[in-house]
Amino acid sequence: MSNFSGIELNQQLIAGTWRDGNSDRVAKTSNPYDDSVLAEIQQASAADVDETYEAAKKAQPAWAEMAPAKRSAIIYKAAELLEEKREEIVDLLIRESGSTRGKANLEVTLAANITRESASFPARMHGRISPSNFPGKENRVYRVAKGVVGVISPWNFPLHLSIRSVAPALALGNAVVLKAASDTPITGGLIPARIFEEAGVPAGVISNLSGAGSEIGDHFVTHPVPKLISFTGSTPVGRRVGELAINGGPMKNVSLELGGNAPLVVLADADVDKAAQDAAMGSFLHQGQICMAVNRVIVDGSIYDEFVEKFLDAVRAIPVGNPEEDKNVVGPIINDSQLDGLKKKIAQAKDEGATVALEGPINGRLVSPHVFTDVTRDMEIAREEIFGPLIGVMKANDEDHAIELANDPEFGLSAAVYSRDIDHASQVGLRIESGMVHINDLTVNDEAHVMFGGLKNSGLGRFNGDWAIEEFTDDRWIGVKRS
């Protein structure tokens, strides 16, 4: 396959034109399973960043002034195109991001869902009129588009995590410049840009750039045109983005969806079979390369041995291999840097005294599931985000201890609590410092109309539904004195 929807895979949509970037650098995007090259891309330069932002600034006012019904129809058309081109997109997700077929199909569904939800946003930009303490005056609060939004997306769910920002921003009248991760410039950048262009978004309103962070990353964030930078990625890089957005030039808003370290808490009265099955899937879906993936399983001591036995049985049944084969759940790690990091985490867990309960082979970038038991709160595997097919199981003395362990790390994105008493489990969930807690369900959850976001070092801001409307618009107070 050399193109997507008529566009060569090495192109970028820069200020309304599909072309090469102007950098001297050329980057390859390859299949992490077999290293076959999908495209060689002439990278974008700082001058390309300037051109796209200026074009976006020029095109945005007319887009924002378009009738809400017309803008809505264009966004809805984009959702239809995602479904129509599902097979083609799934194939590229498998080949570029190492997604298994099941995960790739899920990703297209998630992207289509948030796009359909976003199509309703133009009619939901509600302002209000408030009374005034001054006679003859009224206070009008308008909700308006921010202007131009810069979006930086990651490689793990490249399509969805680009569109999760792009679709709402466009629907609400903003122009968007998208910079996808270097590992996934096609599925994270080219495909979203082409989908919205083909749906009818005017030239200049949507652009995508493929460029090295060392060459254009800081300039992308500090440029004076964008009013908001929406970033999804690691906490260290997110901190840098936030600092640059505030201190690197004209101050701008940031929306940061960052790292996680999701605990799955199994209380004494839990359905152990269900908890074990869900923990296995939540830990190893997409090789554990998900910010919401189960990072730690915390089990009440009274059922610890029973849980470990059933959990290991569930993990052993997870198929590993070529992501193009429908049966496989675990595919390749995205790149050699991530692979080396995982090997170091495995070695460190052993050195720190964790028990190796299950250790599958590592063949190339295929890392079979690794399970460690007797994990304690001071071990790196418990403290830090793993982002790979490794999991630690921790024993809790009681419920309070389980909550204490769940709250230990600096992250607070997603969590799960398993118990037969749903109301009590919900109260436990409220005691866990996490933006999202799921009762008797996976930590990996995302619904287009329900808020998504974390606490602590897992980020700032919220995605989806009404929360996205607030993120991608500004409130403007117009005070009217009639006499």
Mean pLDDT by 10 residues, the chain (483 residues): 90 98 97 97 98 98 98 98 98 98 97 98 96 95 98 98 98 98 98 98 98 94 98 96 94 96 98 98 97 97 98 98 96 97 97 97 97 97 96 98 98 98 98 98 97 96 96 97 86
- Burial of residue 335 (number of CB atoms within 10 Å: 0-12, 13-18, 19+): middle
Q: C-alpha angle with apex 315: 313 to 318, nearest 5 degrees?
A: 115
Asked if residues 148 and 119 have their Cβ atoms less than 8 Å apart, the reply is no
Q: Name the pTM for this structure.
A: 0.96
Q: If DSSP codes are grouped into helix, strand and coil, which group holds residue 142?
A: strand
Helices (H), 14-173: 46-65, 68-84, 86-97, 101-118, 158-171
Residue 269 CB: number of other CB atoms within 10 A?
15
Q: Cα–Cα distances in Å, from 179 out to 163, 182, 237, 257, 286? A: 12, 9, 14, 15, 23
**pLDDT at residue number 483:** 76
Fold of 262-447: Aldehyde Dehydrogenase; Chain A, domain 2 (3.40.309)
**Parallel/antiparallel/unpaired status of strands 228-232 and 253-257:** parallel
Q: What are phi and psi of 8, to 5 degrees?
A: -60, 145
Q: Cα–Cα distances in Å, from 229 out to 24, 99, 178, 287? A: 26, 27, 10, 28
**pLDDT at residue number 328:** 96
Q: Give counts: helices (H), strands (E), the chain.
A: 16, 26
Q: Cα dihedral sign for 241, 109, 77, 4?
A: positive
Q: Cα–Cα distances in Å, from 352 out to 266, 295, 341, 355? A: 24, 17, 16, 9
Out of 3.40.605.10, 2.40.160.60, 3.90.45.10, 3.30.70.1170, the CATH code matching 3-258+458-481 is 3.40.605.10
The Cα 61–Cα 15 span in angstroms is: 15
Domain with CATH 3.40.605.10 in the chain: 3-258+458-481
Helix, strand, coil shares of the chain, percent, nearest 5, are 40, 25, 35
The Cα 434–Cα 441 span in angstroms is: 15
**pLDDT at residue number 228:** 98
The first and second tokens of residue 178, run together, are 């998208």
**pLDDT at residue number 444:** 97
**Parallel/antiparallel/unpaired status of strands 12-14 and 17-19:** antiparallel
Residue type, 141: V
Nearest in space to 152 (alpha carbons), one of 120, 106, 185, 129 = 185
The Cα 255–Cα 235 span in angstroms is: 12
Domain with CATH 3.40.309.10 in the chain: 262-447
* Consecutive H or E run containing 178: strand 175-179
The Cα 119–Cα 103 span in angstroms is: 24
The first and second tokens of residue 427, run together, are 């109260």
Q: Cα dihedral sign for 7, 204, 467, 292?
A: positive
Residue type, 359: E
Q: Cα–Cα distances in Å, from 362 out to 279, 311, 342, 367, 371? A: 22, 21, 11, 5, 14
Q: Is 257 a catalytic residue?
A: yes
The first and second tokens of residue 98, run together, are 């190492």
**pLDDT at residue number 141:** 97
The Cα 459–Cα 147 span in angstroms is: 23
**pLDDT at residue number 482:** 87
Which candidate in 107, 215, 257, 385 is catalytic?
257
The first and second tokens of residue 386, run together, are 């793993």
Q: What is the dihedral of CA 175, 179, 184, 188, to 10 degrees?
A: -10
